[in-house]
């Protein structure tokens, strides 16, 4: 077997290992946001159980919403919302959960699947688990609360369970020359930027990637699920490729 074939086999095996994970918690540490934030209670708090006493909290709005970008594509098995333990659970009542394949603020053709509805009465620390039956790979989870007037949305904690899914093929990434991701989720090798992009496509947790013609051939392709300014650095010999959310 040629050296090239051995490298290809090794990459395929490593990607298969990533995709065979079952029942993993896939939301922790991902990118959360909400319509607005009550001072001191940002959306990210709902993803960390250490803050479950109070969780995340929006300011007055109608509707209120909270959303997490999973920075990858997944088949969702279930989503569990836990009410805050300090009595703010009333501000989670009647909220409903949806899963979405694209950023609804940018894309007009996003697919949405309703997963379930929180009851009208919520006890402190009460859990609500919803099963989602989306027929498409999911990237976003959104919680929405509507009312007859402005209200709040509070989430003590949210846990999303799922496994990596095969995403639709993306052939276009926006290149940014002179930048390199600093927190790759996987470091590998590729002969061309196009091959690095194919590896990103095959890896369910990859959204964006960086490639260098001159870096070490063992580490010239960096795959990542979070390319935001604080996780990239100026490097003249690298190019960072960012996916268009609506492709």
pLDDT digits over 136-149, tens only?
999 999 999 999 99
* Average pLDDT of every residue of the chain: 85
For residue range 45-61, list pLDDT tens digits in order: 999 999 999 999 999 99
- The answer on 218 and 237 residing in a single domain is yes
Residues 207 and 113 in one domain: no
Q: pTM of the entire structure?
A: 0.72
Question: Do 71 and 117 lie in a common domain?
Answer: yes
Does residue 58 sit within a domain? yes
The shares of helix, strand and coil residues in the chain, as percent rounded to the nearest 5, are 15, 40, 45
CA angle 244, 229, 70 (to 5 degrees): 55
Model confidence over 11-20: pLDDT tens digits?
A: 333 333 333 3
Share of the chain above pLDDT 90, in %: 56
Average pLDDT, stretch 235-244?
Answer: 87
pLDDT band at 200 (very low <50, low <70, confident <90, very high): confident
Q: What is the pLDDT of residue 68?
A: 96
For position 169, what pLDDT does the model report?
A: 54
Q: What percent of the chain clears pLDDT 70, i.e. is strictly above it?
A: 83
Find how far residue 142's CA is from the centre of its chain: 11
Phi, psi of 157 (to 5 degrees): -160, 145
Average pLDDT over residues 219-234: 82
> 48 versus 3: which is more confidently predicted?
48
Note whether 104 and 137 are same-domain residues.
yes
| Within a domain: 5 | no
- The whole-number pLDDT of residue 173 equals 79
In CATH, what number is assigned to the domain containing residue 119? 2.60.120.260
156-183: pLDDT as tens digits: 999 999 998 876 655 567 899 999 988 8
Check whether 100 has a pLDDT greater than 70: yes
Cβ atoms of 244 and 172 within 8 Å: the answer is: yes
Determine the structural domain holding residue 125 and report its residue range.
Answer: 24-164
Residue 245 confidence (pLDDT): 65
Give the CA distances from residue 139 to residues 24, 183, 208, in Å, rounded to whole numbers and listed in that order.
15, 20, 14
Q: What is the pLDDT of residue 21?
A: 35
Is residue 87 located within the same domain as residue 157?
A: yes
Do both 149 and 186 map to the same domain?
Answer: no
Top pLDDT among 67 and 217 is at 67
Is 160 in the same domain as 218?
A: no
Averaged pLDDT for residues 7-33: 56
Say yes or no: 121 and 237 in one domain: no
Q: Band of the pLDDT at 116, cuts 50, 70, 90?
A: very high
Q: Which residue has the higher pLDDT, 208 or 19?
A: 208
Coil, strand or helix: which one is 223? strand
Segment 16-42 shows an average pLDDT of: 76
Domain membership of residue 63 (yes or no) is yes
């Amino acid at each position: 077997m040629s050296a090239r074939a051995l490298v290809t086999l090794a990459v395929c095996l490593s990607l298969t290992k990533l995709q065979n994970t079952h029942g993993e918690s896939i939301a922790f540490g991902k990118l959360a946001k909400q319509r607005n934030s009550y001072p001191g209670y940002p959306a990210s708090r709902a993803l960390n159980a250490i803050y479950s006493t109070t969780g995340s909290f929006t300011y007055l709005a109608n509707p209120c919403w909270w959303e997490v970008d999973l920075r990858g594509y997944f088949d969702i098995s279930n989503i569990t919302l836990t009410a805050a333990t300090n009595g703010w659970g009333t501000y989670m009542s009647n909220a409903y959960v949806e899963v979405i394949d694209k950023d609804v603020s940018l894309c007009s053709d996003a697919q949405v699947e309703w997963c379930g509805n929180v009851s009208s009465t919520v006890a402190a620390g009460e859990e609500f688990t919803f099963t989602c039956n989306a027929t498409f790979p999911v990237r976003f989870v959104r919680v929405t609360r509507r009312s007859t007037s402005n209200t709040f949305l509070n989430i003590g904690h949210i846990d999303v369970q799922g496994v990596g899914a095969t995403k639709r093929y993306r052939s276009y990434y926006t290149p940014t020359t002179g930048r390199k991701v600093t927190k790759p989720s996987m470091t590998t090798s590729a002969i061309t930027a196009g091959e690095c992009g194919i590896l990103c496509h095959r890896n369910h947790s990859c959204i964006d990637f960086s490639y260098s013609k001159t870096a070490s051939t063992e580490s010239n392709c960096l795959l990542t699920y979070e390319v935001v300014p604080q996780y990239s650095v100026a490097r003249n010999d690298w190019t960072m490729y960012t996916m268009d959310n609506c492709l």
